[in-house]
Amino acid sequence: MRTTTKRGFIALGVSTLLAAASIAFPGSSPAVAQDKPELRIAAIIAVTGPASALGAPERNAVELFDKTWSSRTDLPFKIKVISYDDGSDPTKSVSLTRKAIEEDKAHVVVCCTTTPGSMAIIDTVSAAKITMISMASSATIVEPASARPFTFKTPTSDKLKLQRTLDYMKRQGIKKIGFFGLEDAYGEGGLKELQNVTKDGAIELVATERFARQDTNFTPQALRLKQAGLDAVYVHAIPPSADLAHEALKRVGYTGPIYHGAGSSINAFVDIGKANVEGAIVGVGALNVYDQIKKDNPLRPVLAKFAELYDSTYGKGKVDLFAGQSWDAMMLAVDAYQRATASGAKVDDLAATRVAIKDAMERTKEWPGVNGVFNLTQTDHLGLDKRSTFLSQIKGGKFVLIEE
């Protein structure tokens, strides 16, 4: 036992030395000696820690990207993917971002899984003038674009999703709704957006109840909502809390419609809730219902291709929203690099290439991704519109698209 550990330490020491040497003498690194220019993308993802449920599929998609793109020889450039795990810790996100910028000489940083992590690295990437593409949901990451010129993100915002949901509620004749959500940053963000989009007064937010991820009892709050005389309840949480909140509402005899936010648009929602969440109306991304959207939708071929690729590697029906978020980030980076080099960016000059990629990002037009159609400009660094959001109902354990 002892000798193996010792040997392990020696191996570790040697590899550390080698790594240090390769950093100290960048000229000796084989990557630079290649003829073709190299696009280096650093993907910093929360594979472990509290956000690992989101980070795991994101990492899968990055690996898938690495496998399918790094080996391609038909491109005028090479792609190198550098993967890091920040453990859902914003401090680590920052240090890894620095490492990616300074040691790995990355052109684009794909980071981070969570909103706190993404917010934390903004200053670092702005100072280094390098494009970052976040996979976190909050709109504040990219707003205002003038103050965060190098920051982009792929997931659609809560605002767009909520608008879609509220439009649908209006058509259903719903007047009074209640909010039932997590009391962490995610739930708080949802509540703020809901308060924003209900400002026009067509739908009134009359009750707000909160719970925590680790709660064991959701009944009291559900009772409260039931007694508020609501036309509908909007649940803003992630599984399993979203499932438990849904079940509690049913248990206390609430019979009205129950709407769910994007947090519930993952397979785990149905896997955990099973029959109990039948009939739930969930705001979803295109990926959840990719085989149900209209054939002429520009997203359909992109979605089908990605879903097929992902499922063939990780198992049938495994593809979910979060995998699509990192996939789009990687693909956007490639697309921007391609256009930047085509318009004459000097690939030998790292700093100039980084800026050129950002400029190219801002010229992305009608680019169909897994999350929706991207139209990025200097003022809009999200670039998604209503076409990125869909509503679905849980029927027979599946997300079934609600046709509108």
Partner 1 sequence: MLDTLLFLVADGVTNGAVYGLLALSLIVIYTVTRVVNIAQGEYVTLGALSFASALSGAFSVLSAIVAAGLAAFALRDVAERRLTGAMRIRIVLSRALWILIVLATAWLANLLPGSYWLAVLASLVATASLGTLIYRLTVEPVSGASPIVLLIVSVGVYMVLHGTAVVIWGAEPRSVPPVVEGGVELGPVFVTYQSLFICASSLVAMIALYLFSERTLTGQALQATAVNRTGAQLCGIPVGVAGQLSFAIGAGFSALSGLLLAPLITANYDMGLPIGLKGFVAAALGGIVEYPTAMVGVLLVGLTESFSAFQVSAYRDVVVYLMVIPILLWRNAVRPPETHGH
Asked if 220 is part of the footprint of partner 1 (rule: CB under 8 A), the reply reads yes
Among 158, 243, 335, 362, binds partner 1 (CB under 8 A): 243
**For tokens 């971002």, what's the residue?**
97
Tell me the C-alpha distance between 6 and 10, whole Å.
6
Among 129, 251, 318, 339, binds partner 1 (CB under 8 A): 251
**Cβ contacts of residue 257 below 8 Å, gap of 6+?**
172, 174, 231, 232, 233, 279, 281
Q: Which stretch binds partner 1 (CB under 8 A): 92-100, 163-171, 248-256, 289-297?
A: 248-256
**For tokens 């605002």, what's the residue?**
159
> Which residue lies nearer to partner 1 by CB, 84 or 180?
180
3-state SS of the chain: helix, strand, coil percent to 5? 50, 15, 35
Asked if 212 is part of the footprint of partner 1 (rule: CB under 8 A), the reply reads yes
DSSP β-ladder status, 398-401 and 176-182? unpaired
Residue length of the chain: 404
Asked if 268 is part of the footprint of partner 1 (rule: CB under 8 A), the reply reads yes
Among 129, 213, 386, 387, binds partner 1 (CB under 8 A): 213
Closest approach, Cβ 66 to partner 1, in A, equals 22
Asked if 52 is part of the footprint of partner 1 (rule: CB under 8 A), the reply reads yes
Among 41, 244, 287, 382, binds partner 1 (CB under 8 A): 244
**For tokens 């009892």, what's the residue?**
217
φ and ψ at residue 140, rounded to 5 degrees:
-65, -15
Tell me the C-alpha distance between 81 and 77, whole Å.
13
Q: Which residues pair with 132 in a beta bridge?
A: 109, 151
Q: x/- string (CB under 8 A) for partner 1, residues 139-178?
A: ----------------------------------------
Among 155, 189, 190, 239, binds partner 1 (CB under 8 A): 239
Tell me the C-alpha distance between 23 and 20, whole Å.
5
Count residues binding partner 1 (CB under 8 A): 33
Among 37, 48, 192, 300, binds partner 1 (CB under 8 A): 48
Amino acid symbol at 14? V
Asked if 317 is part of the footprint of partner 1 (rule: CB under 8 A), the reply reads no
Q: Which residues form the interface with partner 1 (CB under 8 A)?
A: 48, 50, 52-53, 56, 183, 209-217, 219-221, 223-224, 227, 239-240, 243-244, 251-253, 268, 271-274
